[in-house]
């Protein structure tokens, strides 16, 4: 497995990480804890060193799972988690508003350390920008946690360019986590140039379009009521039917490369910048192995040109989030 440096930071991770959210949250299905731990261990065996979780996934259960799996092999891995919500404490999924007050950030750090069974959080992201707390105060709180040895690196998620600049001036930002894929390329407009200028790594989540770009989903796919994708405008039957044009494009390139659409989608991301480290999530060993195969695919400049030219003629249908969640991104 190749490794990549996230920007100018000292944080080095596997070219592809593993997003762990779906193992315990978001898709309406439960998974056996031991099976998920075994999957995480297999990922480590295959060279993955970068694992992503958050307190809100569950809430809390995903951090506990990741802690059980990775704390015994702590020296081999980089663990990222997140703060920024008033998480439900009654065991129900979700949250009650944003909360990035400095005292709350520090409380979350302590709780996450216990659940993860580690002494230091490698990468601590603000999950969503809190408009009620100056980003300088957020960065300052994480800076203090770094000074105390409880956190190694500061990250932001779905932040706007000016917010990134303001935070970076107080405490260097190692990585920005944002959605980025062949069907969501808005980060290319302002975010990626800002990251390149400042020396900040990019960690794309949903690099496979929440599963859509794998080709395993069609307009006839019925999403369960507990599957969060059923709430997303981009996953209505009409939108999915229109967006199959992206899958068709990936299939055409995959056929030439003896690969799968998912592998081409990931290889395309890896080819964009050397400081991009996507974190596709999965609960299946076959999909894990398939995704990691993307690191062995080389897309030539001609291949990338073909993909970009074809993709430029496709307009993605449907917003990626409903309005109440759309308000939380890009601040």
Catalytic sites, residue numbers: 57
Euclidean distance between CA atoms 281 and 268, whole angstroms? 17
What angle do helix axes 61-70 and 102-116 make, rounded to 10 degrees?
50
- Residue 166: Cβ-neighbour burial (10 angstroms; 0-12, 13-18, 19+): middle
Hey, what's the torsion of the CAs at 323, 26, 243, 221, to 10 degrees? Answer: -120
What is the CA angle 24-27-32, rounded to 5?
40
On whether the CB atoms of residues 1 and 46 are closer than 8 A, the answer is yes
Please enumerate in sequence order all residues whose Cβ is within 8 A of that of 218, keeping only pairs 6 or more positions apart, or say none: 240, 241, 244
On whether the CB atoms of residues 254 and 264 are closer than 8 A, the answer is yes
């Amino acid at each position: 497995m190749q490794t990549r440096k996230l920007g100018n930071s000292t944080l080095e991770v596997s070219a592809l990480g593993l997003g762990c959210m779906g193992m315990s949250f978001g898709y309406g299905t439960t998974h056996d804890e031991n099976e998920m731990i075994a999957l995480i261990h297999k990922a480590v065996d295959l060279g993955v060193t970068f694992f992503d979780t958050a307190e809100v996934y569950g809430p809390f259960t995903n951090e506990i799972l990741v802690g059980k799996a990775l704390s015994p092999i702590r020296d081999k891995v980089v663990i990222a988690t997140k703060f920024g919500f008033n998480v439900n404490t009654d065991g129900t999924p979700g949250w009650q508003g944003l909360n990035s007050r400095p005292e709350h950030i520090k409380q979350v750090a302590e709780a996450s350390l216990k659940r993860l069974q580690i002494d230091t959080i490698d990468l601590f992201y603000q999950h969503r920008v809190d408009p009620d707390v100056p980003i300088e105060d957020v960065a300052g709180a994480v800076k203090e946690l770094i000074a105390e040895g409880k956190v190694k690196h500061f990250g932001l998620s779905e932040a706007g360019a000016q917010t990134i600049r303001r935070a970076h001036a107080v405490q260097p930002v190692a990585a920005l986590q944002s959605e980025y894929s062949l069907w969501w390329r808005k980060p290319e407009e302002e975010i990626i140039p800002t990251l390149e200028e400042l020396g900040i790594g990019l960690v794309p989540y949903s690099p496979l379009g929440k599963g859509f770009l794998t080709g395993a989903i069609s307009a006839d796919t019925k999403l369960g009521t507990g599957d969060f994708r059923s709430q997303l405008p981009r996953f209505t039957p009409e939108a999915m039917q229109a967006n199959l044009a992206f899958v068709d494009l990936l299939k055409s390139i995959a056929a030439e490369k003896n690969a799968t659409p998912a592998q081409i989608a990931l290889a395309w991301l890896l080819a964009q910048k050397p400081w991009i480290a996507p974190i596709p999530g999965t609960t299946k060993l076959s999909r894990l192995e398939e995704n990691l195969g993307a690191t062995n695919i080389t897309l030539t400049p001609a291949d990338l040109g073909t993909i970009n030219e074809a993709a430029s003629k496709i307009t993605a249908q449907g917003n990626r989030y409903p309005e109440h969640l759309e308000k939380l991104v890009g601040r």
